[in-house]
Amino acid sequence: MDYNKLKYWLALKSIVGIGNIGFPVLIDKFGTLEAIFSASAAELQTAPGITKKAAAGIATFKSWGSIDNALKMAEKAGISIVTYQDELYPAKLLEIYDRPPLLYVKGILKEDDINISIVGSRLASTYGKYTTERISRELALKGITVVSGLARGIDSAAHRGALSVQGRTIAVLGTGLDIVYPPENKKLFAAIGENGAVVSEFPLGTPPRACNFPARNRIISGMSYGVVVVEAGEKSGSLITARLALEQGREVFAVPGTIDSAGSRGTNKLIKQGAKLIENTDDILEEILPQLEKPKTMKPLPASGDETGIVRKNENLNSVDRQIIALLSNSRLHIDELIISTGFAVGDILSSLMKLELNGIINQHPGKFFSLEAVTK
């Protein structure tokens, strides 16, 4: 952990009157965090929206000891801090106007995460939890990272579904990462940290205040390509997440429910208002796939089937990806043939195929056959 760098981020975050919008304003004006804390109050007030009180708070800041303690506490707890200038900061989250300047992270964020959020009622029905786990499980098997809020009901089911197939999932909290809320999700919290990440914009020690959760919801929707709502009452917080998703330009999906269920009123209303009704994960993927930019068409492979050119142009390929590319270099193969030939776990094969297809390296054909994109050009 880079104490010298992060101390300025935490210090600026602690200044009253410097909200999420104030960070980029000041950085654009002064260039670096160090320069901000070296500026005079008068100079700071020349930045748009910076009040006299906020400028004075920065210019006279003295609480470096408490900032140092906060950094040591985070490091001791195995928590990293990612700023919006870091490569691991979620790419989609950079697009929202009030992005959090920093995130506390327990676990691992990945640059190539393709996130879909699943949210819904805390008072979920058996149908709602079953449906959520199924959708989450299928998304995880296709290499999608499932994002939710660790709340009771639908959120917990979403995380469990991804974990059940060793998939990635991210929980966004409305508390500090040293406070598990609800407390009965302590084991789930630990499992997510080992198979994905638990994140929060709130410093350690922040309790579960009601005002924190709408702010948490904007991160859930903001870091994702789309939001799936499963069961929601007419005044559910999940509808706030859906509204935020629309404001952020994200896709909104809803699982239909029975007309006589109170837990279906919110989702059915979303469908009336234009949210996409979903019955399976294909309904989700067909909407988000066009958003994922594919690289330029690659040159055809040599007749020998040597895949070196593809590997060289895509340095982030893992061993599963490379073996699939090698097998597809000269022929079109069925998914069963790939599973048998590689010997890898089914989940690893499905995840790899999804990633390679999204990156324009392979093509999927009817009947679950696959070929190299370059071969079909």
By C-alpha distance, which of 155, 178, 158, 176 is closest to 168? 158
Q: Note the pLDDT of residue 259.
A: 75
SS3 content of the chain, % helix, strand, coil (to 5): 50, 15, 40
Q: Is the CB of residue 6 less than 8 Å from the CB of residue 34?
A: no
Q: Note the pLDDT of residue 330.
A: 75
Q: Note the pLDDT of residue 317.
A: 80
β-pairing, 276-277 with 251-255? parallel
* Interatomic CA distance for residues 176 and 103, integer angstroms: 10
Q: Note the pLDDT of residue 302.
A: 36
Name the strand (E) or helix (H) holding 57.
helix 52-59
By C-alpha distance, which of 307, 338, 334 is closest to 324? 338
Q: Note the pLDDT of residue 367.
A: 66
pLDDT in tens, the chain (377 residues): 678 889 999 999 999 989 888 898 899 899 999 999 999 999 999 998 899 999 999 999 999 999 999 999 999 999 999 999 999 999 999 989 899 999 999 999 998 789 999 999 999 999 999 999 999 999 999 889 999 999 999 999 999 999 999 999 999 999 999 999 999 999 999 999 999 999 999 999 999 999 999 999 999 999 999 999 998 887 778 888 998 998 898 999 999 887 777 778 888 889 988 899 998 898 998 888 777 654 333 333 333 344 445 655 555 688 888 888 888 887 788 877 787 777 777 667 877 887 888 778 888 876 677 888 644 43
Q: Note the pLDDT of residue 308.
A: 46
* Interatomic CA distance for residues 353 and 105, integer angstroms: 28
Q: What pTM was estimated for this model as a whole?
A: 0.77
Domains and CATH numbers, the chain: 3-76 (1.10.150), 106-291 (3.40.50.450), 308-376 (1.10.10.10)
